[in-house]
A and B are shown apart, each in its own frame.
Chain A
Amino acid sequence: MKKEFPLTNIIRHTLIVFFMLTILLPLAWVLLLSIKSMPDSMRGNLWPRKFDFNHYAYVFEKIDTLPQNLFNSIYVTSATVLITSVCAVLAGYAIVHLKPKGSLFLVTVLVLSLYFPTRVVSIISIYEIQDYLSLINSTNGLILPYITLNLAVSVLIMRSIFQLIPGELIDSARMDGAGPWKTLWLIGIPLAKNGLVVIIIVNFVTAWGEYLLAATLTNDQAVRTMPVVLASAQGGMGQWAWPRIAAVYVIVVLPGIIAFAMAQKLFFKGLMEGALKT
């Protein structure tokens, strides 16, 4: 391999490090803000003179709706991720390996829905549907529209993942007498697990941070999810003093980053196999 000219290399790494810092600094700032003492939080220095780690305990004890909001978020997100993943795995598998009539039509409609601002426009009638079903101001009610937020993308990702599994493999399992369900469970899912990681993360990120539907379809603080609470909180004094609100922020943002860090290898493989296929 050709040895690189050192100067080019230095410039290259300086530029890359600059971009990496641009990505990391805002996150480092909010993390540090959450452990600053009160007076330090009002001075803008990045590194505090005095640390104060009590904000985390404080927000759980003093903000009464916080545990409830956190629970709402966890509940809605888990249900959404579970249901969407099951739908996407079943549909992706069927479209590629069972090919029932109409699956090409379904794929076409799913793709077209990606080009239309469905999420924005449909809010008008989703409010009406939820009202009709008495699901306005209900945490449970959020799960239903959430499932469809990424359903099309998830099905299409699972479809490209299942396309990588040779049809012969599926066929030989069926020759041995396994039905389509057993084949999916024993052959399909183990081979599609990278893609599954991708759609779980994608759906987690969407549901965990969803704002538009949650803000429109709920009114009471106690039924709301964390993003709505954080977006409407005005930083300032008392229980919403800056380091405290930053502590809430870190509590909410951390699960996603930790989950990603743990599944990082599988996530990359899955991205390369399915989502980034060109």
Chain B
Amino acid sequence: MKDLLRVTLLWLPIRGETAKVTTGNPAIHGPIRKSWLVEHNNWVFLLPTVLFFVWYQVYPIVRVVWISFTDYKYLTNDPANWVGFDNYAEALSDPLMWDSLGRAAYFTAMFLPGTIIIPLLLAVLIHGVQNQRLATVYRVILLIPAVIPSTLVFVLWKWMYNYQIGPINHFLVEVTGWFTYRNAPQWLGGTDLTLPSVAIMEVWWGLGYHSVFFLAGLAAIPKDLPEAARIDGANEWQVFRHIILPRLQPIMLILVILRFGTSMGVIDEYLIFGGFNRESPTYTWTIFMYDQAFKTGLWRQGLAAAIGMVGSLVMMAFVSWLIYIFRSRD
């Protein structure tokens, strides 16, 4: 818990100079803060945030935890009965629970390295560009995918992978002649290629944004550090490995943790690309949960909530583990 907070505080500066600057003059803040009225007046600023946050984030999660211990259904008028751990037992004994978690993990294993290493490489390349105007153009292009809303990225790539008009298969068949339309790969639609295809799309989406992240980190490294190492006879790889990389590690850590979370919890993409075929590689725990809650005729919210909780807990366990291994190396 403490580790989790400390890691986050790396990202959200609370310590150091910024925190010092904001500590106001106690002569002014001191007496004012004691007043009951002012204290409550100040709370008014937090009220809208707290209201919405409790209403649509805290309460729903508490409610889902409660639902997961009952046989609650939207569709019946009968009151929900407390069933203890029955839903959890059912979820855990269903092989689909573990298969679907495994599929999410498989996707993460493909997506995560790509979405860290490729932007890192690109950022190092762009950081070395000396022409400032060109560097600005590159930075603007980098952020274009970041301002394309999620669903529009998925729709665009659904068409890119399309069998008839998709430019990817057009390239493979008509431009290069590596395939014919008979044996051209079918990217989406529950084939073995579906998860890799989704991973490529996600790497494309994050490529620019993550590069900008790394560029910010590279800009913070004092210029004379790599110079001094070069004068001492270090080659470019050694400079990168021993000077640059350690200083980018905090950014990498944040990206790994954030993207691990998003990639284990992917749902929109699988709803759009995969549907509800239980054999499909896109049928991960998120879809399993959604299927039980909304699509299957039974509308078993209790079981769905249990599946969601199991998935979330497994995910949180991995996040804690990731934070732990990154911590111990410092």
A interface, CB within 8 angstroms of B? 1, 4, 12-13, 15-16, 19-20, 22-24, 26-27, 29-30, 33, 41-42, 44-46, 83, 86-88, 90-91, 93-103, 106, 108-129, 131, 144-145, 147-148, 151-152, 155-156, 159-160, 162-168, 170-171, 174-175, 180, 201, 205-206, 208-212, 215-216, 227-228, 230-231, 235, 242, 246, 249, 252-253, 256-257, 259-261, 264, 267-268, 271-272, 276-278
B272 on interface, CB distance cutoff 8 Å? yes
B interface, CB within 8 angstroms of A? 4-5, 8, 10-13, 18-19, 21-25, 28-29, 33, 39, 41-43, 45-46, 48-50, 52-53, 55-61, 63-64, 67, 74, 122, 125-126, 128-130, 138-157, 159-160, 162, 164-167, 169-171, 174, 204, 207-208, 212-213, 216-217, 220, 250-251, 254, 257-258, 261, 264-265, 267-268, 271-272, 286, 289-290, 293-294, 301, 304-305, 308-309, 311-312, 315-316, 319
Q: Which residues on the B side are within 8 Å of A117 (C-beta)?
A: 261, 264-265, 286, 311-312, 315
Residue of B nearest to A154 (CB): B49
Q: B147 and A167: CB pair below 8 A?
A: no
Give 26 A-B contacts (CB < 8 Å), ordered by A residue. A12-B128, A102-B43, A108-B5, A115-B316, A118-B57, A118-B60, A120-B267, A121-B312, A122-B64, A125-B59, A126-B56, A127-B294, A144-B56, A155-B49, A163-B13, A163-B19, A175-B28, A180-B42, A206-B149, A211-B268, A212-B271, A249-B152, A256-B147, A260-B143, A276-B213, A277-B13
Closest 9 CB pairs of A and B: A209-B149, A44-B170, A94-B45, A227-B151, A167-B24, A122-B60, A117-B265, A100-B42, A125-B63
Q: A278 and B217: CB pair below 8 A?
A: yes
In the assembled complex, the Cα of A108 lies from the Cα of B7 at a distance in Å of 12
In the assembled complex, the Cα of A116 lies from the Cα of B8 at a distance in Å of 14
Q: Using A30-B156, A30-B159, A86-B48 as known contacts, say yes or no to A231 and B151 having CB atoms under 8 A apart.
A: yes
Q: A256 and B63: CB pair below 8 A?
A: no
Q: Using A123-B290, A124-B304, A151-B49 as known contacts, say yes or no to A230 and B155 having CB atoms under 8 A apart.
A: yes
Q: Which residues on the A side are within 8 Å of B125 (C-beta)?
A: 12, 15-16, 19
In the complex, what's the smallest C-beta–C-beta distance from B38 to chain A, in angstroms? 8
Q: Which residues on the B side are within 8 Å of A106 (C-beta)?
A: 46, 49-50
Q: Which of A119, A124, A242 contacts B301 (CB 8 A)?
A: A124
Q: A97 and B53: CB pair below 8 A?
A: no
Q: Using A117-B312, A180-B41, A278-B217 as known contacts, say yes or no to A230 and B53 having CB atoms under 8 A apart.
A: no
Find the residue from B4, B24, B147, B293 having the highest chain A CB count within 10 A: B147
In the complex, what's the smallest C-beta–C-beta distance from A173 to chain B, in angstroms? 11
In the complex, what's the smallest C-beta–C-beta distance from A210 to chain B, in angstroms? 7
Q: Which residues on the B side are within 8 Å of A131 (C-beta)?
A: 74
Q: Which residues on the B side are within 8 Å of A174 (C-beta)?
A: 28
Q: B160 and A26: CB pair below 8 A?
A: yes
Q: Which residues on the B side are within 8 Å of A19 (C-beta)?
A: 122, 125, 207
In the assembled complex, the Cα of A75 lies from the Cα of B197 at a distance in Å of 34
Residue of B nearest to A245 (CB): B159
Q: Using A119-B265, A235-B162 as known contacts, say yes or no to A24 and B141 having CB atoms under 8 A apart.
A: yes
Q: Which of B8, B142, B148 contacts A256 (CB 8 A)?
A: B148
Q: Which residues on the A side are within 8 Å of B152 (C-beta)?
A: 209, 227, 230, 249, 252-253
In the complex, what's the smallest C-beta–C-beta distance from B87 to chain A, in angstroms? 12
Q: Which of A12, A101, A120, A268 contacts B289 (CB 8 A)?
A: A120
